[in-house]
Structure 1
Amino acid sequence: MKKITIAIDGFSSTGKSTLAKQLATKLGYVYVDTGAMYRAVTYYMMQNGWVTDNALDKEAIVNALPNVKLHFQFNAELGFAEMYLNGVCVEQEIRTLEVSRFVSKIAEISEVRAKLVEQQQEMGKEKAIVMDGRDIGTVVFPDAELKLFMTASAETRAKRRFDELVEKGQHVTFAEVLQNVQERDYIDTNREDSPLVKASSAIEIDNSSMSKTEQFELVLQMVQDVVNR
């Protein structure tokens, strides 16, 4: 069977990662969560005090990039690969609202994007990969055989994110999560370097009122159509 590259872009909390994991499992493809990579870099910079509510030390962040070693390691019990930062699993630490507050600001830095895009392109050289993020179909894999652009209302996405965080035991309010979603939308779509935009050849999917199963079956058919061309 022909192997392809599947690029999934879209706004935060649209279920990109969930869909990508489903597809990778079904197809036997490699799954790469680029959002986790940006979150891990953000977490590292936060730990060192270079990004706070009051300031962002861009020079220190850029100088520290060579010290940031990222890799994914498959966890058989969970059924997906976890994010490791300098040899330590940080999968739980990078999923907090606190990291979410700063990740779009770190992702605005061109040097950060250049470092991670280079790694992402290397991962996809052999195809048979599903990658999700903000610039996969436009920058990382502009020639991907299937490009998807996920969207949903801000309120719907905030509710999903809020439920997810509460289930993990984090103490947040819906208002906080909604504000974070809206702020990230603005930063992601207005940054100078690789802003979030729909690739010209991408298929837009508004999943505001779509179940995970409905979405998966819809996209799986799209994959099969592309593979069988």
Structure 2
Amino acid sequence: MSTAIALDGPAGAGKSSIARRAANELGYIYVDTGALYRTVGLAASLRGIEPVDSPEVDKLLSEIKVELTFNAQGEQIVLLDGRDVSGEIRTPEASMTASKISAIPAVRAYLLDLQRDMAKTNDVIMDGRDIGTVVLPDAKVKIFLTASPEARAQRRYKELIEKGMDVKYEDILQDVITRDYNDSHREIAPLKPAEGSVTVDTTELDFEQSVDKIISVIKENR
């Protein structure tokens, strides 16, 4: 029987990098659900479709194919109509579009089965914003990973600068604050800790300490 770990939290909390590392050490498969929403958002942007509930978005969902696969190193690859878009979906613009498009009921329904199917057949650590509350409410372990907006913005800023991108910390912080508000106030599956979840605040923790903390919580509760 497979084991599912649900890891939720706000934008920039380090869910992806921490979950990926923890999954690798525990021998689980890491599933980044945020990448799925970013990919749908990218598809909308490429076609000039506004990320709002509309017939255009419904039509888009009927025409695209979003897939998750893994390379030889176990790293997640996201495909849009067979094309690897793993790099394209990591810009600040893609992040904001994902926040908006994830509030659309049809988009959430479109991706729900894909996410659940991954957990049915694999030991997974799945991260997102409604994994423990909606996608995998029966997950063995539920964790809510958070950090202050300033800490999350600083980490994101450093990451983008290291990738050679021209960004400003103030802009990243405002994006984080805006996305927090959007994610926690949307009508469908708002961001909040799942019932029975363990909250882990990494504001004062570095990456290694955060990974150790998450692994410790998983081992104590699985």
Q: Does TM, scored on the shorter chain, surpass 0.5?
A: yes
Distance 1:57 1:170 in 2: 31
Instruction: Give 2:78's aligned residue.
Output: 83
After the TM superposition, which residues 46-61 of structure 1 pair with which residues of structure 2 at under 5 Å, given as runs?
A: 46-51=45-50, 56=52, 58-61=54-57
After the TM superposition, which residues 1-229 of structure 1 pair with which residues of structure 2 at under 5 Å, given as runs?
A: 3-51=2-50, 56=52, 58-76=54-72, 79-227=74-222
Distance 2:53 2:183 in 1: 20
Query: For 1:17, what is the secondary structure of its paired residue?
Result: helix
- 1:74 Cα offset (Å): 1.9
Q: Quick check: 64-73 or 29-38, which moved more?
A: 64-73
Structure 2: gaps of 5 or more residues: none
Residues 34 and 131 in structure 1, CA contact (< 8 A), matched pair in contact too: yes
Residues 149 and 203 in structure 1, CA contact (< 8 A), matched pair in contact too: yes
Query: For 2:76, what is the secondary structure of its paired residue?
Result: strand
Distance 2:34 2:136 in 1: 15
Superposition RMSD on alpha carbons, in Å?
A: 1.5
Distance 1:225 1:154 in 2: 28
Query: For 2:120, what is the secondary structure of its paired residue?
Result: coil
Distance 2:111 2:149 in 1: 27
Provide Cα deviations, 1:64-107, integer angstroms capped at 9, x if missing partner.
10222111232336x51111111000011100111112111100
Residues 3 and 119 in structure 2, CA contact (< 8 A), matched pair in contact too: no
Residues 151 and 207 in structure 1, CA contact (< 8 A), matched pair in contact too: yes
Give me the TM-score of the superposition, normalised by structure 2: 0.95
Give me the TM-score of the superposition, normalised by structure 1: 0.92
